[in-house]
Structure 1
Amino acid sequence: MIHDNADLIAKIRGRFAHVESCPFQGPRIFFENAGGALTLNSVVETSTKFAAIPDNQGRDNPASYALVNIIARAKADLAVFMNAQSGQFFAGESGTELLFRLIRTACVNAPKGSKLIGSSIEHPASRSAAHRWADVAGLDYVNVQHSDELGLVSAADYAAAMTPDVAVATILHASPVTGMAMDVARISQAIRDVAPNCVIIVDGIQHAAHGLLDLDAYNVDGYVISPYKVFSRHGYGIAWISDQLSAVPHDMLIDGPAEGWEFGTRDTGAYATMSDVVAYFDWLGGEISQETDQRKRIETAGAAIHAQEMALTNAMINGVGNLPGLCDMEHVTILGGENNPAREGLVSIVVEGIASPDVVTLLNDEGIRTHLRKADHYSGNVLDPLGLNDCIRISMCHYNTVGEVAQLLGVLKKLAETR
């Protein structure tokens, strides 16, 4: 377990920028990882290096050859990291933009009068795209209702709504509001059992930093991540698409490569930082195992990250030492329940008697960074059915510590005593 190894947790935290302090606020605990994880120091260095290079890819000069090779290396690293034996990776403006593009392409190529299936738990990045392009393409949208109690949707829920004429499907891998992960492999299988040729697109943005990625096991056609949520930086997104989706008619330049999906000259530094991210997972797996195979080390790292974050959320919910946990605080309600095995490093709460914006401000005044989620176009699909106007999101990553959790619980205990 990572948190049981003081030397390892120190090494991990030493690889990230601004772990213990904010350049604007000063010392703080960072529990806002779902809004964007901490950035690897290596990513900062790589970004600086490539920002100074004037050359483009596709030219006949040594610098251009090097840039092309760096991008190819990054795509190969991503294939190992996400266990993709086929298909292709490409960069876009953001994770949201890429989800819109993949869903749009799937919809306009679907048979008229067919269906698109998605779920009510989804982030608007996929849900908005699905509704818009289903309407434009003349597809019926089928909504799979998520469980308000558990904060997730299951394979059985999808199976109950499936029909053979479903041509496109969207799946959310993990919710940035409830923190619950969906079983993508089982949901995908439930879809393909009824509609084998359905184009399945997954929003993996929230999940990517919190454990293992295994595209071969998912049996889907599209998977999108936002690198700034998995230890890289802002300004781009990464998509993987299957050979099947690569080949369908899509937006492209006239006479361009038939299976080319990228627009314009991409930032080589963005790709290079993904190699830094993969190298970090590789390093972590090597620190906690004797594995010699890169994929095995990455799998080991993913399992350790998941276990670490489970330990952190369990400590937050059940208490640390003499400090009561969230489940012991009568004034606190935990979204998705206290004992939910689907939880990935995130606990959302409401505090009776104190407005959520005030709780976030009070925690921030104590040097604890959390985030307010409102029942707006981002989170209303989850909060409205619960009768909530907002909630406080506390989101962790594996570099957070039980000591930081204890400080949070101490502040919340003090709030309870003074409310």
Structure 2
Amino acid sequence: MSSRQGQLFSESLMEQIQGRFHYIDHDVDGRARLFFDNAGGSFRLRAALDAFARIDALPDCPERMHERALYLQDIQTRGEEDIPRILNARDGSVYLSLTASAAMFEMVRAVMENVPGTNAVTTILEHPSSFDAMKLYCDARARRPRVARRAEQRADGRRRCRCDRLADR
């Protein structure tokens, strides 16, 4: 099927693509589902899980200085080099973390420990872990946590955003 926006994948190509992932149309318990989740996980590529299991099964540590450790170091280095390529990040940096929540806590910690001030502001649009991270580091640094709510339309047509204490949300 064609359109002005492009061409849809053929059924056979869609089947090939879907066959490379676990649990596309059914959950782990066999129930039919549509996958619209953006916070509780992602599709698992079969080949990626197979590669992970193969490497994770090795009873060695990459921090050593022997042949297997050097092999593991090489795999880690290639993976770190591949991520920016996958994301098409030609310059700048990519922060690698196991979860979005862990990344949020690390970023908030870095800011709170290195930027002076008396308060910290997040918004209702941020990842939910930003509230917890900000509260934790505000308590540790004796700062006032605040949350910016959505902008409100004023009578003159301009938009205004107000901040409330995090505890008031």
Provide the rounded CA distance (Å) in 1 between the counterparts of 2:28 and 2:97. Answer: 29
Provide the rounded CA distance (Å) in 2 between the counterparts of 1:72 and 1:108. Answer: 29
Q: Is residue 2:107 matched to residue 1:108?
A: no
- Alignment counterpart, residue 131 of structure 2, candidates 117, 123, 127: 127
Output one character per residue of 1:55-89: Cα deviation in whole Å (capped at 9) or x when no partner: 11122212111111111111111122331524464
Output one character per residue of 1:275-317: Cα deviation in whole Å (capped at 9) or x when no partner: xxxxxxxxxxxxxxxxxxxxxxxxxxxxxxxxxxxxxxxxxxx
Structure 2 match to 1:42: 47
Q: CA offset at residue 121 of structure 1?
A: 2.7
Q: Is residue 2:91 matched to residue 1:85?
A: yes
Provide the rounded CA distance (Å) in 1 between the counterparts of 2:7 and 2:95. Answer: 31
Provide the rounded CA distance (Å) in 1 between the counterparts of 2:126 and 2:83. Answer: 25
Amino acid aligned to 1:54: P
Structure 1 match to 2:22: 17
Q: CA offset at residue 31 of structure 1?
A: 2.7
Is the contact between residue 100 and residue 126 of structure 1 (CA under 8 Å) also seen in structure 2?
yes
Classify the secondary structure of the residue corresponding to 2:21: coil
- Alignment counterpart, residue 102 of structure 2, candidates 90, 97, 102: 97
Change (3 A) 1:86 1:122: closer
Output one character per residue of 1:84-141: Cα deviation in whole Å (capped at 9) or x when no partner: 524464445x33123112212210222143x423102333211221133124323343
Q: Is residue 2:83 matched to residue 1:51?
A: no
Change (3 A) 1:111 1:22: closer
TM-score (norm 2): 0.71
Provide the rounded CA distance (Å) in 1 between the counterparts of 2:21 and 2:49. Answer: 9
Q: 1:253-268 maps to which residues of 2 (within 5 A)?
A: none
Q: Is residue 2:139 matched to residue 1:138?
A: no
- Alignment counterpart, residue 78 of structure 2, candidates 64, 70, 73: 73
Provide the rounded CA distance (Å) in 2 between the counterparts of 1:118 and 1:106. Answer: 12
Amino acid aligned to 1:143: V
Amino acid aligned to 1:85: D
Is the contact between residue 107 and residue 139 of structure 1 (CA under 8 Å) also seen in structure 2?
no
Change (3 A) 1:54 1:4: closer
Structure 2 match to 1:374: none
Provide the rounded CA distance (Å) in 1 between the counterparts of 2:128 and 2:97. Answer: 20
Moved over 6 A (4+): none
Q: 1:326-365 maps to which residues of 2 (within 5 A)?
A: none
Q: 1:179-190 maps to which residues of 2 (within 5 A)?
A: none
Q: Which one has a bigger Cα radius of gyration?
A: 2
Change (3 A) 1:90 1:37: closer
Aligned residues: 151
Amino acid aligned to 2:37: N
Is the contact between residue 24 and residue 35 of structure 2 (CA under 8 Å) also seen in structure 1?
no
Is the contact between residue 75 and residue 89 of structure 1 (CA under 8 Å) also seen in structure 2?
no
Classify the secondary structure of the residue corresponding to 1:105: helix
Provide the rounded CA distance (Å) in 2 between the counterparts of 1:21 and 1:95. Answer: 25
Output one character per residue of 1:208-231: Cα deviation in whole Å (capped at 9) or x when no partner: xxxxxxxxxxxxxxxxxxxxxxxx
Output one character per residue of 1:248-275: Cα deviation in whole Å (capped at 9) or x when no partner: xxxxxxxxxxxxxxxxxxxxxxxxxxxx
Is the contact between residue 16 and residue 41 of structure 1 (CA under 8 Å) also seen in structure 2?
yes
Provide the rounded CA distance (Å) in 1 between the counterparts of 2:122 and 2:36. Answer: 27
Q: CA offset at residue 48 of structure 1?
A: 1.9
Larger RCO, structure (CA 8 Å, separation 6 or more): 1
Amino acid aligned to 2:104: L
Is the contact between residue 118 and residue 144 of structure 1 (CA under 8 Å) also seen in structure 2?
yes
Q: CA offset at residue 23 of structure 1?
A: 4.4
Provide the rounded CA distance (Å) in 1 between the counterparts of 2:15 and 2:7. Answer: 10
Q: Unaligned 5+ residue runs, structure 1? A: 149-155, 163-380, 382-419
